[in-house]
Every structure is written in C-alpha cells, then in structure tokens.
Amino acid sequence: MNIAQEVSDLTLPAAGEWWTQHRGQSPVVATAIHNGHAMRDAAKRLCGLTDEQRLREEDPFTEFIIRDVPNRIVVHRSRFEVDLNRPRDGAIYLRPEQAWGLNVWTGELPSEITETSLAMHDEYYAMLKSYLSGIERCHRRFVVLDVHSYNHRRAGRQAKPTLAAEAPDVNIGTFSMDRKKWAPVVDRFVEAVRSFDFPGGRLDVRENIAFQGRGYQARFIHEQFPQTGCAIAVEFKKIFMEEWTGEPFAETLGALRQLLASTLPVLAEALEAER
C-alpha cells in the first residue's frame, strides 16, 4: 500500500472509544492527544460549531505521523469536548477566549455533561501515570514526544501565511522541563529533526517560537517523573494538509512519519549515554 492509500484508509475508532494505547520495547513514547474528532452525542448536540470549524483547531493526522513509534497513545475524542492538554479546571472551553474566539456551546452546559467530560480527563491522567511508570520500570528514563500541529493561515485559505520568522516548520517546546538537565537529549533530537533529508529541503526547526511547550501533559509528566521523564512538545506546522479544508498531503505526511521514526534510535542512545 502506498502512502496516499494509507492516509486515505485511516480507520475511524470504534464508537465511544476514548483513546488507543500501544506498548513496545522502547524508552520513547509518542502521544497524539489532539488527534481526535469524535464527540459523544450529548455533547455534540449542544456544540455550536460545525465539524469543519472543530477540525481546523484539532490536530488531524498526528496519529499517522507517530504510527511507527512502538509506544504511543492516540486520543480519539475532540479537544472541543475535553482538552487533555489543559488543566482540569480549564479543560472544557466555556468562554470564547479559551477557544480562539469561538463560541463552542449553544448555551450553558448541564453539570452532567461537564462531569462526564472531566471524568475522561481524570481517567486519562491516571492511565498516563500508570503507563509511564511501566516504561520507567523497564528503562529507568524515558522521553515523551508530545506531538501536535498548528495553523499558519489563520486569515483564510487565500491569505498570506504567518511570517516564517514566527512559524517554524517544527516548533520544539521545552518550557516546563529542566532544560539544562535534559539538554543532551533535547539537543540531539533537535539536530536529528533539523538534519533529516526532507523532500524539498531541510525543515526549519526552532525552539519555543510559536509555542513554548506550556501544555498540561508535559507539565504533568515533569511533575510526576522529575528525574526520569523528559516530555518534548513537538508542534508541526500544518504543511502536511490544507488547514481550511482538511485535505491531507500524503507525501508530506509520509515524510514526517519517516522523520519521527528516524529519531527513535537517536533518543534511545541519548538516554543510554546519560545513565
């Protein structure tokens, strides 16, 4: 199967599925916690956004990019139901300023809606702590690649993109980590991404430009595993899709998947060297 077929054949999760876990023999974990688009019926009936509006602010195809990482977690619920990369008290977008100016809901949410959504937040982080504890037992130290994507044509499909100075192809976020402690790991990862022979030319890879890695998941990992866990926020600019229509660019997606897979031995070696 070629890349275009593989992208077009992406299977939808089973109805009601929250996330999918995969476990392998590696000290590297990848997550795609904003990949999901599904909403449970009770929440979707109260949502004031179209599917297209939601998709624009989600991270479609990040699951595809991390698919070659043996340890990976893919979330199937939309961030518009509950955003797992925000603290529990801000995980549901109740005000436009929490959601790029969008009015997410048609009215006030009943408590049973919010409680059910927040229960997913609780369960996710209980699962994540257990999952990473298992990685820690096997490998002592680990890296989590917290993979996301971001828009760069916010003014419209035909508008000029965000200036390149403010929008690298790959933004590495390191705000919540002990940057000095994890420098040997992060620096080798950045160099591996930067030196990858990407179609059309090497990618622009910079640290803490468009985003700083302030998401809740990275903070949680560094708080729970301060000596053993390094969470790197990896934001891909949506060069792999048309952000206003959702159309994927299969060859670019395939190259990004190969790029991420190519960093696995580099990260494993960096962790081993620091033992």
Taking the C-alpha atoms of residue 176 and residue 218, their distance in angstroms, rounded to an integer, is 7
Taking the C-alpha atoms of residue 145 and residue 261, their distance in angstroms, rounded to an integer, is 11
Please give the single-letter amino acid code of residue 110: P
Q: How far is CA 260 from CA 67, 137, 209, in A?
A: 9, 24, 20
**Averaged pLDDT, 141-164:** 94
What radius of gyration do the chain's Cα atoms show? Answer: 18
Q: C-alpha angle with apex 192: 189 to 195, nearest 5 degrees?
A: 145
Which letter does DSSP use for residue 36 in this model?
A: -
Of 162, 147, 112, residue with least CA distance to 32 = 147
Each residue of 18-48: pLDDT tens digit?
999 999 999 999 999 999 999 999 999 999 9
Each residue of 94-140: pLDDT tens digit?
999 999 999 999 999 999 999 999 999 999 999 999 999 999 999 99
The domain spans of the chain are: 15-273
Q: Options 3.40.630.40, 3.40.50.300, 3.10.520.10, 3.40.1390.10; which CATH number does 15-273 get?
A: 3.40.630.40
Instruction: Enumerate long-range contacts of 162-165, CB under 8 Å, 24 or more apart.
Output: 162/210, 164/204
Taking the C-alpha atoms of residue 100 and residue 156, their distance in angstroms, rounded to an integer, is 14
Q: Is it the case that residue 7 has pLDDT exceeding 70?
A: no
**Residue partners of 42: CB distance under 8 A and separation at least 6:** 112, 113, 116
Instruction: Enumerate long-range contacts of 258-263, CB under 8 Å, 24 or more apart.
Output: 258/68, 258/196, 259/193, 259/196, 259/198, 259/203, 260/30, 260/65, 260/66, 260/68, 260/69, 260/145, 260/147, 260/234, 261/68, 261/69, 262/192, 262/196, 263/28, 263/145, 263/189, 263/192, 263/193
Which letter does DSSP use for residue 260 in this model?
A: H
Each residue of 192-239: pLDDT tens digit?
999 999 999 999 999 999 999 999 999 999 999 999 999 999 999 999
Each residue of 174-196: pLDDT tens digit?
999 999 999 999 999 999 999 99
Average model confidence (pLDDT) across the chain: 95
User: Is 237 in contact with 169 (CB distance < 8 Å)?
Assistant: yes
